[in-house]
Amino acid sequence: MTTTPAPATEPTTRPASHRVSQSVFDGSRLRVVLLVDVNDGAQQEFLETYDQLRSHVESVPGHISEQLCQSIENPSQWLITSEWESAPPFLDWVSSEEHVRAVRPLHRCVRDTRSLRFHVVREIGHPAEGAAPAGAGLQSVARIGDGVIRHALTFTVRPGSEDKVAGILADYASPEAEVNGTTRLLRTSLFLHGNRVVRAIEVRGDLLAALQHVAQQPEVRALEEAINPYLEQDRDLADPESARVFYTRAALPAVHHVAAGREEERAERHAFAYPARPECGMRLARLLAQRDEAAADDPRSPVLCSTIFQRDDIVVRLVDVRGDLAAADPAVSLGLPDAAAAGELTTLLEDRAGTGDLAEALANARMDLVTDRRAPDA
């Protein structure tokens, strides 16, 4: 399928003064903080629901501990903190259908929730007898970011509707970039791979505020209504529960990002889809992350920055490439600069056809660009 990208500001990569790296794959412990605002009169229902949810979480591999706290200033405000051996098992759990079912009763008794995730870098305290020694599982080096949050949404449309959907997605008015005094929508990139749509966004500031801002814009509401008839998963965005479940299932979090920090005036944006075998998505994403980290240290690599998104067996790699992709080594473009990595990739992919020929594999993995839009001065 061939689509024509909508007119947009030409993609560029700003010069960077240092290497940027963000990842969930460093093995350090994860602290998850969930802020909850409980409906008036629903405290007992909330506590009963939490106890049921806790019984689910306690048996999840990688879960270490959990605390439920109530505000001393506002009894309607609660805080749930949990600790995990590392980020991957938590991400597997939070994106699972089991989790979607488990948290559904919780949303009936709360006004709002907000989830924050942190790697543990420093800690003070005396471990209990038999616990891991102090300092175990800490993030060894503070990572350098660029102030940009990267996130993606993905969903499938009915086979045969791809061209129609691409036309709708390419032809819409961009929402206002300024969300508030601290949050700004920087870039939105839309891709198709078969009947799967991936919408990647870059935000400076508060991701949740940006997502809510975009969803409220009339032009975006019209766009969502226009594609509703073509979706494989039905949704009713006027129903808060239907919308919440849809966007929970559509969330495609960034699990790794690396930017080489090399100054470039121009870069082409591309995306690649790597459908993983069942239960191999995280391993595949980790493999690609390792190779992209190595490529970022190679000044000869045409890949200037890479973001890997993963949920379940869906793995998408978004790259900004120096020069023409067709002129680059297909192995490097795929994130596989050596034969060993290519061989391991073959064992992790759902469809192995064509993986023996890297040029064919590149063609199969490459996603069709629908539109790529940057905010002015972004």
Q: Which residues are within 8 A (CB) of 133 and not within 5 positions of it... i.e. 6 or more apart?
A: 127
Q: What is the pLDDT of residue 12?
A: 37
What is the average pLDDT across 13-24?
65
Residue 76 pLDDT > 90? yes
User: For the segment 62-71, what is each residue's pLDDT rounded down to a tens digit?
Assistant: 999 999 999 9
Residue 18 pLDDT > 70? no
Closest alpha carbon to 196 in 231, 156, 230, 234: 156
Q: Percentage of the chain with pLDDT > 70?
A: 89
Q: At 242, is the pLDDT very low, low, confident or very high (cuts 50, 70, 90)?
A: confident
Enter the pTM of the model: 0.87
Closest alpha carbon to 123 in 83, 66, 89, 63: 83
Domains of the chain: 20-25+145-374 (3.30.70.100), 30-119 (3.30.70.100)
Handedness of CA 233, 237, 243, 247 (dihedral sign): positive
Q: At 356, is the pLDDT very low, low, confident or very high (cuts 50, 70, 90)?
A: low
How much is the mean pLDDT over the chain? 85
User: Which tokens sit at 169?
Assistant: 């997605």
Residue 130 pLDDT > 60? no
For tokens 């969502």, name the residue: 224
Q: What is the pLDDT of residue 158?
A: 96
254/137: higher pLDDT: 254
Residue 345 pLDDT > 60? yes
Q: What is the pLDDT of residue 133?
A: 56
Q: What is the pLDDT of residue 324?
A: 80
Residue 150 pLDDT > 70? yes
